[in-house]
């Protein structure tokens, strides 16, 4: 049975309530990392909100890659469903040669420094797509840019998944996993990061826009524990507020280790599924449980708390 076909007993449609006083361990009805068709998700913002509601969520953040194009439609739908939508985006950055994702969230409208950053990211994504296309052409994918565009519905900006699907469609690889493994994953020819703003520039923009920034899925960069510590040191020193303690399904031992890494730096904890499409292992609100800790949840951050109030 697919995860999205079941509703965990703790989550029942229509019975959702969000208590800002709840701890991380108690956290339910909440998912602060979700994608829609505004980036590489497969559900429209409205469909996504309806699925969240169906799964008993009372509070969700839309965090599309480098865009807030879906936020207004999602907020509108969420309001109609009696849910809270926290505006956000998953921002592409670079740090020490690694592509690091930063989830930014804020209360109310996106402020000028945020819209300026998003414009810059749109340009970066455009320039990066040209370079990825050139590289994949050298690797044997003719007309790579057009082929990737064929995989991208509407006018949204191209991402690596569009190139991955183009590689599959052209028969160069059997599936998406292999496309990333051979061509687009970390360190491969199509993994182009130079266009992204630095972590420092990104955090400055988020701060000036009145938002809060958390490190997305800290365990998914393949960093050693020491380097992850360095990343979190620098993130905190640059004014970053937190990190995702839980991203989807996660090993309990690693979660406990993350608790101490965050605690040591006074970082808030966030959590989210990183849901992209139905049919996979994940659904909105499917998360491993957070271990017991003294960490503060990001919904209690003074700058962000108003965004979590009931509509």
- Contacting positions for ligand AMP (CB under 6 A): 40, 65, 92, 159-161, 176-177, 180, 185, 276
Strand 242-247 relative to strand 268-272, pairing:
parallel
Helix axes 112-138, 160-169, angle to 10 degrees: 30
- 146: Cβ–Cβ under 8 A, 6 or more apart, which residues? none
Comparing CB distances to Mn ion, the nearer of 22 and 98 is 98
Q: Do 41 and 68 contact (CB within 8 A), yes or no?
A: no
Residue 168 is given by DSSP the state H
The token pair at 105 is 């969230």
CA 237 to chain centre: 22
Tell me the closest approach of the beta carbon of residue 258 to ligand AMP, in angstroms.
Answer: 20
In this complex, which beta carbon is closest to ligand AMP, that of residue 188 or of residue 303?
188
Contacted entry of ligand AMP, Mn ion, none for residue 210, CB cut-off 5 to 8 Å set by kind: none
- Tell me which of ligand AMP, Mn ion, none is bound by residue 241, counting a contact when its beta carbon lies within the kind-specific cut-off of 5 to 8 angstroms: none
Q: Which among Mn ion, ligand AMP, none contacts residue 177 (Cβ within 5 to 8 A by kind)?
A: ligand AMP
**Between residues 176 and 289, which has the closer beta carbon with respect to ligand AMP?**
176
Beta carbon of residue 59, minimum distance to ligand AMP (angstroms, whole number) = 22
CB of 159 to ligand AMP, least distance (A): 3
Closest C-alpha to 133, from 172, 160, 173, 97? 160
From candidates 3, 34, 40, 64, binder to Mn ion by CB under 5 A: 40
Q: In the complex with ligand AMP, which residue's Cβ is closer, 247 or 293? A: 247
Q: Is 31 in the site for Mn ion (CB under 5 A)?
A: no
**Which residues in 96-155 contact Mn ion (CB under 5 A)?**
101
The label of the residue with tokens 């937190």 reads 242
Please select the residue that binds Mn ion; options are 66, 77, 241, 274, rule is CB under 5 A: 274
Q: Give the C-alpha separation, 249 to 30, whole Å.
A: 15
Smallest separation (angstroms) from ligand AMP to the CB of 63: 10
Tokens 């190139």 -> residue: 163
Tokens of 160: 């690596």
- Smallest gap from Cβ 265 to ligand AMP, in A, equals 25
Parallel/antiparallel/unpaired status of strands 212-215 and 84-95 = unpaired
Name which of ligand AMP, Mn ion, none residue 43 binds, using a CB cut-off of 5 to 8 Å depending on partner kind: none
Instruction: Tell me the C-alpha distance between 129 and 126, whole Å.
Output: 5
Binding positions for Mn ion, rule: CB under 5 A: 40, 90, 101, 216, 274
């Amino acid at each position: 049975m697919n995860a999205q076909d079941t509703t965990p007993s703790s989550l029942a449609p229509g019975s959702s309530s969000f208590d800002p006083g709840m701890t991380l361990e108690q956290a339910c009805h909440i998912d602060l990392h979700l994608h829609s068709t505004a980036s590489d998700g497969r559900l429209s913002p409205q469909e996504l909100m309806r699925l969240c509601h169906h799964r008993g969520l009372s509070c969700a953040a839309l965090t599309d890659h480098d865009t807030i194009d879906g936020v207004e439609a999602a907020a509108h739908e969420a309001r109609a469903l009696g849910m809270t939508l926290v505006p956000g985006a998953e921002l592409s950055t670079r740090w020490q040669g690694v592509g690091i994702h930063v989830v930014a969230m804020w209360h109310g409208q996106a402020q000028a420094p945020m819209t300026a950053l998003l414009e810059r990211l749109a340009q970066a994504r455009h320039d990066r797509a040209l370079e990825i296309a050139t590289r994949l052409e050298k690797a044997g994918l003719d007309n790579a840019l057009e082929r990737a565009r064929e995989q991208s519905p509407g006018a949204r900006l191209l991402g690596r998944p569009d190139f991955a699907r183009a590689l599959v469609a052209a028969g160069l690889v059997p599936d998406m996993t292999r496309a990333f493994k051979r061509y687009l994953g970390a360190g491969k020819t199509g993994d182009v990061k130079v266009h992204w703003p630095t972590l420092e520039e990104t955090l400055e923009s988020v701060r000036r826009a009145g938002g809060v920034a958390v490190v997305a899925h800290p365990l998914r960069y393949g960093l050693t524990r020491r380097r992850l510590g360095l990343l979190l040191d620098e993130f905190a020193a640059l004014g970053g507020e937190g990190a995702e303690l839980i991203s989807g399904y996660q090993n309990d031992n690693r979660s406990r280790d993350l608790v101490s890494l965050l605690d040591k730096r006074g970082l808030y904890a966030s959590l989210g599924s990183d849901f992209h499409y139905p049919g996979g292992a994940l659904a909105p609100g499917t998360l491993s449980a957070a271990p017991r800790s003294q960490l503060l949840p990001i919904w209690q951050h003074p700058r962000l708390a108003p965004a979590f109030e009931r509509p």
